[in-house]
Amino acid sequence: MSGAAPRAPSPARSAEPVLAVRDLERSYTLGAETVHAVRGVTFDVPDGEWVSIVGPSGCGKSTMLNLLGAIDRPSAGKVLVRGRDVGAMPDREATRFRLLHVGFVFQRFYLMPVLSAEENVELPMAEARVPRVERRARASELLSYVGLGARQQHRPSQLSGGEQQRVAVARALANRPALLLADEPTGELDARTGAGIISLFEQLNRDGTTIVVVTHDEQLAQAAQRVIHMRDGLIVKDERLRSR
């Protein structure tokens, strides 16, 4: 990994929480049944904190992550990212907000197979109309940061699973988001490769990135400063493992 960390994600730390969740609810109908996936959840994530959300399958973790990232809309309550209510945003605005303020990492990496690693990282910047020279330089910097400086021109099919996930992390950081959201980022990786991604997240967090991770991976969860345990759509335990 390159030592020249770009301190990509976060601006100067603020007293205001990056993420504030208030009485958040999400229900949906499944046939004749109404499923309450998230049932009145409240918590804050301060600037620069790494929070893991854990719990059994179906407890509402992924639904929660989608709500935090303006992918889904709450049935009630609020999600404030840097003070902006993302749940109330119309679709176009929410899309733009995700582009500029939220970084996503998914279990399956979903890189564009016809693009090189560098082009994949450039994609969100191109969408944000960052000038070509600038985005190329930043893509190169980010790929070096995640340890892929020598593989910038490789296509996803030429990279290992761990390397692809690193490219996905670099892509998530492209537009300097306020918040990095990750859904089972080690879910498709073996233990050794997963450990590499955990190290990368640790490095990101040390460099100031605010991270919320949803995971079943005990090792990943324990690497965070704080673990939120969910069950049946509720927070059952909010555990601080270490201070920032």
Find the shortest distance in angstroms from Cβ 164 to other proteins.
Answer: 13
- Of 141 and 183, nearer to other proteins (C-beta) is 183
Task: Among 4, 112, 137, 241, indicate the residue that binds other proteins (CB under 8 A).
Answer: 112
Structure tokens at 74: 């709450």
> Contact between 63 and other proteins (CB under 8 A)?
yes
State the chain's maximal CA–CA distance in angstroms. Answer: 55
Structure tokens at 150: 């020598």
- Output the CA angle 68-74-75, nearest 5 degrees: 165
d(CA 166, CA 90): 31
Structure tokens at 11: 């601006």
Find the shortest distance in angstroms from Cβ 41 to other proteins.
Answer: 16
> Contact between 165 and other proteins (CB under 8 A)?
no
d(CA 11, CA 52): 22
> Contact between 186 and other proteins (CB under 8 A)?
no
Number of residues that bind other proteins (CB under 8 A): 34
- Of 10 and 63, nearer to other proteins (C-beta) is 63
The length of the chain is 244
Task: Among 15, 31, 90, 92, indicate the residue that binds other proteins (CB under 8 A).
Answer: 92
- Of 115 and 195, nearer to other proteins (C-beta) is 115
Task: Among 6, 40, 149, 187, indicate the residue that binds other proteins (CB under 8 A).
Answer: 187
> Contact between 215 and other proteins (CB under 8 A)?
no
CA distances from residue 210 to 5, 8, 56, 86, 133 in whole angstroms, order as listed: 15, 11, 24, 17, 27
For 33-42, the CB contacts below 8 A with 24+ separation are 36/233, 37/63, 37/233, 38/63, 38/64, 38/67, 38/74, 38/233, 39/232, 39/233, 39/234, 40/76, 40/77, 40/234, 41/77, 41/230, 41/233, 41/234, 41/235, 42/77, 42/235
Structure tokens at 174: 């492209």
Q: Specify the stretch interacting with other proteins by CB under 8 A; choose among 41-49, 179-187, 191-199, 231-239.
A: 179-187
> Contact between 96 and other proteins (CB under 8 A)?
yes
Site string for other proteins, 116-155 (x = CB under 8 A): -------xx--xx---------------------------
Give contact residues for other proteins (rule: CB under 8 A): 62-63, 66, 69, 71-72, 91-92, 95-100, 102-104, 106-108, 110, 112-114, 123-124, 127-128, 171-172, 175, 183-184, 187
